[in-house]
Structure 1
Amino acid sequence: MQRRSLLAVPAALAAAAAFGPAAIAQEKKTLAFIVNVSADFWTIARRGIEKANREHPEYNMEMFVPGQASAADQRRIVDELLARKVAGIAISPINPSNSTDTLNRAASQAVLFTTDSDAPNSNRAVYIGTDNVAAGREAGKQMKLALPQGGKAMLFVGTMDADNARERVQGIREVLQGGNIEIVDVRTDESDMARAKRNVEDTLARYSDIALLSGLWAYNTPQIYQAVKTANKEGKVKVVGFDEDGLTLRGVADGTIFSTVVQQPFEFGYMSMINMIKYINNDRSFIPANKQIIVPTRIIDKSNVAEFQGQMRELLRTR
């Protein structure tokens, strides 16, 4: 996925201004969806946004992918969108604790939702996404099923600065506490795919007794899959993943990956857009008291992966 260009927008606004107030009045409001990294996960969310846009053609709905997975790049996108006076922004914040000022500035000028990873200390109107502690607990249960005799495990994720990463690790640790599975460490890669794969390769080389690897972000499990295959460790090292990348599902199908905890990114995209429109129209009835709309997860394993792969192929095909 490529982030859409913002350069053409000033010219469009200038053209609208040239035709006076009537043209400006007809200008469609824009709703923006800012992701944290390029991945098929977000392509599925885009399909949800596209559905919402078909239902509400009176709005422009756009997805933005940062050139680099950094809070600084997300901040630049937010600044450009606010300069465009967009009506709403949904964002998966990479580093919410260091982005509060940016998020609050956005919330003061547009409707602000968080999705995928929350920023509860900001002025966002609502979070739409997974209960990541609960998702971590589900992953922990899968780890126990994959490794009933116990052993050493390594976790892999982009950054522990993101709430969803910290919360997933928290949920995993809760389930494994007092058991016979030991988490050796959590390896981070700053969303660098090559580094993500090197982290796995280094773990396999350094820890001859490593028994299980778990990838917590969408791209981590495919990197684990490739490294395990290259090292001929299929079946010797168990793998539990997150999300529905094509390689992850292939690994579940061929038995290299025990299971994966999948979210519903289609709903992240669709519900963010639909509910931002409600908010703009002064409808707050959809917002729970805790300001979190939780989208449930599913477990994909050998028993249901074929059917799920078919569903994903349909969502990911070119529209």
Structure 2
Amino acid sequence: MNYKLLFAAAAASVLLLGGSTLAQEKKQLAFVVNASSDFWKLAEAGVNKAQAELGDGYELQFRYPAQGTAALQNALMDDLVAAGTDAIMISSADPKNSIDAFNKVAAQVPLFTTDSDAPQSKRIAYLGSSNTAAGVQAGEEMVKAMAGKEGKCMGFVGFLGADNAVERITGFKQAIEGKGIELVDVRGDDVDFTKARTNVDDVLVANPEINCMVGFYSYNSPKIYEALQAANKLGQITVVAFDEDPVTLGAVKEGNFVSTVVQQPFEWGYQGMKLMAAYLGGDKSMVPADGLIIVPTAVINKENVDAFSADLKAKIGG
């Protein structure tokens, strides 16, 4: 019997098994978003920064669902759990109707939310903006811009029932109450970009009394810009935006939009991954008693848009 060959084969087996064990010990963390939108590039950059700092002991995934629906998101989470993912952070497309799905995942791995919370679920914590406070900021910007003039505003958003949308709208209404400004209606589009544009076009034709608009989701304001430009009404309708789409920032710089209320999705990705890594390591000190980790929002206007844009480019590598 060739004992040298047997020994070599046994040693190779140990190496292979050892390598497999090491691979399995690598912690798998996933960040799941609600739609394929440029807004999420900053969060992805934050996840990449966290990966560089956490090192080879972690594998971080940034996942887009095939479409922005709760069913596909929840199926994606099930797939991640089945594949051995150790913790998940999600921006839910429909948190109110995803409680059972969230609880199913939360029973197997630590689950965190971002952007749009699901406080009735068994998620561990929410890390993101206070959407109500962001809505108040947007409303205050509209009040300043209208400068005492009566306003008939139309809002545009993706998911009308999502918590982040409801809270932004609520905050906006709080800020404009008693100021001679009315939010006449909010049109939803279910993250259908074509419908988002059509919604604005329809309002311009059917509602000539509208003299102010609010884009509550990141892509809504660029669609407002496109529609106003096509109708030769840029500058004639007062617009307050949300988030930092390049078209939105350009419109703010031009003076065609008053301002935009921005979140910090880079920090959601970065802090979210560090939070989950710490939690898996047994450190739960970063989770507050109320389960809310609020990352502040900011107002970007003509005075600070250049500095903000330069910072964005630095974070996403240009």
TM-score by length of 2: 0.92
Q: Which runs of 5+ in 1 are unaligned?
A: 1-15
1:266 counterpart = 2:263: no
Write the deviation string for residues 98-127 of structure 1: whole angstroms up to 9, x where unpaired.
101111111111111100110000111110
1:286 and 1:44 mapped to 2: Cα distance?
Answer: 22
1:316 and 1:247 mapped to 2: Cα distance?
Answer: 17
Write the deviation string for residues 3-59 of structure 1: whole angstroms up to 9, x where unpaired.
xxxxxxxxxxxxx9x944651343222100000112222100111101100011211
8 Å CA contact 1:141–1:175 kept in 2: the answer is yes
1:298 and 1:150 mapped to 2: Cα distance?
Answer: 26
Deviation at 1:179, TM superposition (A): 2.3
State the 4+ residue runs in structure 1 displaced beyond 3 angstroms.
18-22
Secondary structure of 1:109's partner? Answer: coil
Secondary structure of 1:97's partner? Answer: helix
8 Å CA contact 1:144–1:150 kept in 2: the answer is no
Question: Which residue pairs with 1:5 in the alignment?
Answer: none
Question: Which residue pairs with 1:207 in the alignment?
Answer: 207
Question: Which residue pairs with 1:106 in the alignment?
Answer: 105
Computing the radius of gyration over CA atoms, which structure comes out larger, 1 or 2?
Answer: 2
8 Å CA contact 2:36–2:67 kept in 1: the answer is no
1:128 counterpart = 2:127: yes
2:244 aligned partner, one-letter code: E
Number of aligned residues: 302
Write the deviation string for residues 206-263 of structure 1: whole angstroms up to 9, x where unpaired.
1112111101111111111111111111111011000000000000011111100000
Question: Which residue pairs with 1:64 in the alignment?
Answer: 63
1:26 counterpart = 2:23: yes
Instruction: Assess, with a 3 A threshold, how the Cα gap between structure 1 residues 101 and 21 changes in structure 2: closer, same or farther.
Output: farther
8 Å CA contact 1:94–1:161 kept in 2: the answer is no
Question: Which residue pairs with 1:82 in the alignment?
Answer: 81
8 Å CA contact 1:34–1:89 kept in 2: the answer is yes
2:60 aligned partner, one-letter code: M
2:41 and 2:79 mapped to 1: Cα distance?
Answer: 22
Secondary structure of 1:62's partner? Answer: strand
TM-score by length of 1: 0.92
8 Å CA contact 2:28–2:60 kept in 1: the answer is yes
Question: Which residue pairs with 2:42 in the alignment?
Answer: 44
2:77 and 2:101 mapped to 1: Cα distance?
Answer: 8
Instruction: After superposing the two structures, state which structure 1 stretch, 189-198 or 174-183, moved more.
Output: 174-183
1:204 and 1:22 mapped to 2: Cα distance?
Answer: 62
Deviation at 1:158, TM superposition (A): 0.3
Write the deviation string for residues 166-218 of structure 1: whole angstroms up to 9, x where unpaired.
00011011111222111110100000001000001111111112111101111
8 Å CA contact 2:29–2:88 kept in 1: the answer is yes
8 Å CA contact 1:136–1:169 kept in 2: the answer is yes
Q: Which runs of 5+ in 2 are unaligned?
A: 1-12
Secondary structure of 1:210's partner? Answer: coil
1:97 and 1:231 mapped to 2: Cα distance?
Answer: 38
1:152 and 1:315 mapped to 2: Cα distance?
Answer: 37
Give me the identity figure in percent: 44
8 Å CA contact 2:34–2:64 kept in 1: the answer is yes
Secondary structure of 2:211's partner? Answer: strand
Secondary structure of 2:61's partner? Answer: strand
Question: Which residue pairs with 2:305 in the alignment?
Answer: 305
Secondary structure of 2:160's partner? Answer: coil
Question: Which residue pairs with 1:13 in the alignment?
Answer: none
2:49 aligned partner, one-letter code: K
2:140 aligned partner, one-letter code: K
Question: Which residue pairs with 2:185 in the alignment?
Answer: 185
1:264 and 1:129 mapped to 2: Cα distance?
Answer: 8
8 Å CA contact 1:91–1:113 kept in 2: the answer is yes
Secondary structure of 1:32's partner? Answer: strand
2:94 aligned partner, one-letter code: N
8 Å CA contact 1:113–1:126 kept in 2: the answer is yes
